[in-house]
Amino acid sequence: MARFDQGVIREIHARIDIGTFIGQYVSLKKRGTDLVGLCPFHGEKTPSFHVHPDRGFFKCFGCGVGGDVIAFVQKLENLPFPEAVRVLASKAGVELEAEDPRAARARSEREAIYEANQIAAAYFARMLRSEEGAGARAYCERRGFSSATIEKFTLGFAPEGWSGLTDELRSQGVDLALAARAGLVKPSQRGGYYDFYRNRLMVPTYATTGEVIAFGGRALDESEPKYLNTSTTPVYTKGDHLFALNVARRAAQRDKTLVVVEGYLDCIALHQAGFENAVAALGTAFTEKQASELRKYAEFVYLCYDADAAGSAAATKSIDIASKVIEHTGSSVRIVTLPEGEDPDSFVRAHGAAAFSRLLETAKPSVEYKLDLRIDGLNAGFESPSAVARKAEAIIRELTPREEWDRWRVYVAGRLKVNVDDLRNSRFLANAANFGPRANGADAGGSRHVPVHRRTSAGTHLEPLSFEREVLGIVLEDPQLAREYGERIAPRRFRNELYRRAYETIVTQAEGLRATADVFAACAQDEEALDVLTSLGARDRSSIVRYGDSQERRAHLDRIVERLQREDDEARYAELSRSIDEMFLAGQPVPRDLLEQFEAAKLKLKK
């Protein structure tokens, strides 16, 4: 970590009034010598966020977050300490350190481009309000964008002429060669420069630290290309950023959820409909860098692409990237399926916010979505059931983790309307010579499906994260249940590291926990676990089901215990199935006792 002279830190504190600075992000009201407002780091309805301008620090008495202005920027922007210091030093005009000439030139160029982009954004916004912008304003009206939305996203208009922005930049003292490197103007073959964007609705993209880094220009008629976007510049690399993340990250801090769409206007339409956690991929294929940015702010990522061939292809590619970067950390990626011919913008305008919320609720896990695409191809064919079973088994093995093969066999069998045992047996029962005789009376392949899908009382899938959140939410509300269920629902069953850590702390210290406040105190030294518990404890924001009393909570925990036992039984069945698979592939006969154990495990699951 970079170290800064304490004089620099003191100078930042001296030049930046913490009350004024935080007031740019939080609506604060005077209460005695304090400023009070709603905490930006957790959902609340009653203000518990206090700023003490005379002492230079803030404190939330709801979630416990506190510190000086540097800590506020760290938490708000998800920045390490050195970067937070640099952001504030830039705002306060404090010189941090001597730079070598090359680094100084690069920094100077970036700052100059930020300034040029800001001038351009202000110019475009002014042109949208002018007489020349009447056509663009009419376009915004047709798209249903309110004046508040136009202002929120600083939408603008690039006039049809060739020199409007060029003249504006020149009048503001901007070096046009630098403006060309920023992608705002283009050099002319005759010398001089001309405007890159003409007769387009202009959409600026902001960095999460507030600087304008790029623009997207949308044609107002049938001109091609429909979108004209900033290419790589010293401050912007295509594929590294997400449109509207500067706004959406604050919404994501409340419920740890982000919705990814393809286009700027799709994203803006969702924000206007109330989905302030929407971001867009900036006209590029989804990248690992973008996935990493999402992971900083969200545990649940929804991919919502247009319902056409291109959108389906983009979704499939994005799933692989998102799964690689996001899901291996315990987070969840789901795919939102729109009706044929719809995009997020058209859907929310035609059907409303409630209908889009229902699409989010029914979004498919990434593995299920990929399986469905392949299953649809099998359903469309005319092959024999045995051939379909063999191909389905191959798809399952290709797309899902080995430990989950049997779970997805049940799902795929249901979709294909074949016996689940046909899938299991397609790989190791095809050649009877490889097997010893079966035990007398053993069922050779019953007609009932093994019900490996675990479901909640409401009938929805029991995903790992929802199960873990439910257990944590219950012991947070009723900590005494941690003593009763700590062994039956062991911490090792938790896949999410943060959830497991918080739950393990609660179970370990269960004897001394009487109230929710005791739980927070027990986790006080683990900031990340504390953040998890804070989000679960926010009644108005959390997705956790609330129960009326301890009896209801016990009933739900009993159901979870039962399902976990079922999971153990399934794991045993899958283990035996794998062992038989491996013997078959190695050309070895399968012992009778192993087949008997396999049949017993199968019968146990059918009960």
Phi, psi dihedrals of residue 155, rounded to the nearest 5°: -65, 150
User: Which range has the top average pLDDT, 53-67, 214-228, 370-384?
Assistant: 214-228
Helix (H, G, I), strand (E, B) or coil at 365: strand
Which range, of 3-12, 198-207, 363-372, averages the lowest pLDDT?
A: 3-12
**Cβ–Cβ < 8 Å for 535, 499:** no
Query: How many whole angstroms from its chain centre is CA 542?
Result: 16
Query: Does an H or E element contain 469, and which?
Result: helix 464-477
In percent, how much of the chain has pLDDT > 90?
A: 28
Q: Alpha-carbon distance 298 to 535, whole Å? A: 12
> Across-strand partners of 233?
236
245-362 adopts what CATH topology? Answer: Dna Topoisomerase Vi A Subunit; Chain: A, domain 2 (3.40.1360)
Residue pLDDT, tens place only, 425-470: 765 433 333 333 333 333 333 322 222 233 333 333 334 446 788 8
6-92 adopts what CATH topology? Answer: DNA Primase; Chain A (3.90.580)
**Cβ–Cβ < 8 Å for 167, 158:** no
Task: Indicate whether 121 pLDDT > 50.
Answer: yes
Long-range contacts of 91-100 (CB under 8 A, 24+ apart): 91/16, 92/11, 92/12, 92/15, 92/16, 93/15, 94/8, 94/11, 94/12, 94/15, 96/4, 96/8, 97/4
Bigger pLDDT: 530 vs 261: 261
What does pTM read for this prediction? 0.58
- Quote the pLDDT of residue 44: 83
Q: Alpha-carbon distance 479 to 461, whole Å? A: 26
Residue pLDDT, tens place only, 234-261: 989 888 899 999 889 878 877 889 999 9
- Quote the pLDDT of residue 440: 39
- For domain 102-229, give the CATH superfamily: DNA primase, catalytic core, N-terminal domain (3.90.980.10)
Residues 6+ positions from 314 with CB-CB distance below 8 Å: 262, 285, 286, 305
Residues 6+ positions from 8 with CB-CB distance below 8 Å: 85, 89, 94, 96
- Quote the pLDDT of residue 272: 95
Q: The tokens of 141 are what?
A: 């009206």
Mean pLDDT of the region 332-358? 91
Q: Alpha-carbon distance 420 to 411, whole Å? A: 9
Task: Indicate whether 31 pLDDT > 60.
Answer: yes
- Quote the pLDDT of residue 439: 38
The burial class, CB within 10 Å (0-12 / 13-18 / 19+), for 431 is: exposed
Q: Alpha-carbon distance 252 to 257, whole Å? A: 5
Mean pLDDT of the region 280-302? 82
Q: Alpha-carbon distance 186 to 195, whole Å? A: 6
CA dihedral sign, ordered 310, 311, 316, 320: positive
- Quote the pLDDT of residue 468: 85
Q: Binning pLDDT at 50, 70 and 90, where does residue 107 land? A: low
Domain residue spans of the chain: 6-92, 102-229, 245-362, 370-455+567-606, 464-546
Mean pLDDT of the region 206-228? 89
- Quote the pLDDT of residue 381: 66
β-strand pairing of 34-37 with 49-52: antiparallel
**Cβ–Cβ < 8 Å for 156, 127:** yes
Long-range contacts of 20-25 (CB under 8 A, 24+ apart): 21/69, 21/72, 22/51, 22/58, 22/69, 22/72, 23/51, 25/76
Mean pLDDT of the chain: 81
Task: Indicate whether 324 pLDDT > 60.
Answer: yes
Tell me the residue ranges of DSSP E strands in 190-251.
193-195, 200-206, 212-219, 227-229
- Quote the pLDDT of residue 450: 27
Q: Binning pLDDT at 50, 70 and 90, where does residue 311 land? A: low
- Quote the pLDDT of residue 283: 65
Bigger pLDDT: 191 vs 97: 191
- Quote the pLDDT of residue 466: 61
Q: Do domains 102-229 and 245-362 have the same CATH topology?
A: no
CA dihedral sign, ordered 554, 572, 459, 498: positive
Q: Alpha-carbon distance 522 to 591, whole Å? A: 52
**Cβ–Cβ < 8 Å for 496, 536:** no
- Quote the pLDDT of residue 568: 83
